[in-house]
Structure 1
Amino acid sequence: MSCENGKNDAENGSRAAECPVVYALRIIGQKWRLPVMWHLYQRKSARYSELKRSINGVTNMMLTKALRELEARGLIERRQYEAVPPRVEYSLTARGASLIPTLDELYKWGEEQMRIDGAQRVDSPARPHI
């Protein structure tokens, strides 16, 4: 596994072969995307207000942006129910759920780093069992 720098071709502006890690991080790397996905995994589906309450520090604007971007990438699904008042729920797609084993490993790695550094968890959701 090696990644060479993906550089733009000066002549036609096309992107040279990109490192898969860099490509993956462009999809999920924004600050609020992974917390949204983690919370949706824990709850199977959630309404906007539930996500807002459970993700510490996220603003309405940033949560909306993250949800739209994740939906555009096919990682989450937005389901609108015909009800009064209108109800919208978000859930992981199969593509989004395929990232969960990796997130679980990242969680374990983070726990180990916190032990090494003597850090304490702040408002951290429990790790679900896969």
Structure 2
Amino acid sequence: MYQHKLDEDIRCPLEYGLEIFGGKWKSRIICVLAEKGTLRYSILRKEMSNITDAVLAATLKNLILDEIIQRKSFDEIPPKVEYCLTKKGMSVIPVLQSICRWSGAYHREDNENTMTQCKKCDYKEGYGDNL
């Protein structure tokens, strides 16, 4: 059986951050909500494109558990649910923007597959001048 080389209580804070906003979809959801504000599930799903309902639901659940986004249910028929960033979620935006600026200096741009939110981001400014 596999045994961890380090005790689980000895962790780098960077691991926590990457767990919170790492992966394929978490940072994208955070960026969409940062730009668009409060969104209903169906609108968020359209903004994300190429994400399955199962993956979106699971990712939203994880972000809610990590207190990055808030889910608000309304007592009406048909049911209405909205998602928005929490204060903690808003605090990660400058971090993600910094990562985008750094990445913009080193990645190849593929405008065809770039999310609309990324096209509006200022990720190209800053680091490119220092190369």
**How far apart in 2 are the matches of 1:127 and 1:23?**
25
Report the alpha carbon displacement of residue 82 of structure 1 after superposing the two structures with TM. 1.9
**Following superposition, which runs of at least 4 residues in structure 1 exceed 6 angstroms of deviation?**
none
Q: Is the 8 A contact 1:56 1:123 kept in 2?
A: no
Structure 1 counterpart of 2:44 = 51
| TM-score, scaled to structure 1 | 0.79
Structure 2 counterpart of 1:97 = 90
Structure 1 counterpart of 2:127 = none
Report the alpha carbon displacement of residue 32 of structure 1 after superposing the two structures with TM. 1.0
Distance 1:93 1:109, change over 3 A: same
Structure 1 counterpart of 2:110 = 120
Report the alpha carbon displacement of residue 69 of structure 1 after superposing the two structures with TM. 0.4
**How far apart in 2 are the matches of 1:23 and 1:123?**
27
Structure 2 counterpart of 1:78 = 71
Structure 2 counterpart of 1:12 = none
Stretches of structure 2 lacking an aligned partner (at least 5 in a row): 123-131
| TM-score, scaled to structure 2 | 0.79
Report the alpha carbon displacement of residue 112 of structure 1 after superposing the two structures with TM. 2.0
Higher helix share: 2
SS state at 1:77 partner:
strand
**How far apart in 1 are the matches of 2:47 and 2:33?**
10
SS state at 2:70 partner:
strand
Which of these residues, 47, 51, 62, is aligned with residue 55 of structure 2?
A: 62
**How far apart in 1 are the matches of 2:75 and 2:106?**
46
Stretches of structure 1 lacking an aligned partner (at least 5 in a row): 1-5, 9-14
| 2:23 is equivalent to residue 30 of structure 1 | yes
Percent identity of the aligned residues? Answer: 28
Deviations 1:59-96 (A, max 9, x none): 10000000000001111000011222111000000011
SS state at 2:83 partner:
strand
**How far apart in 2 are the matches of 1:88 and 1:78?**
7
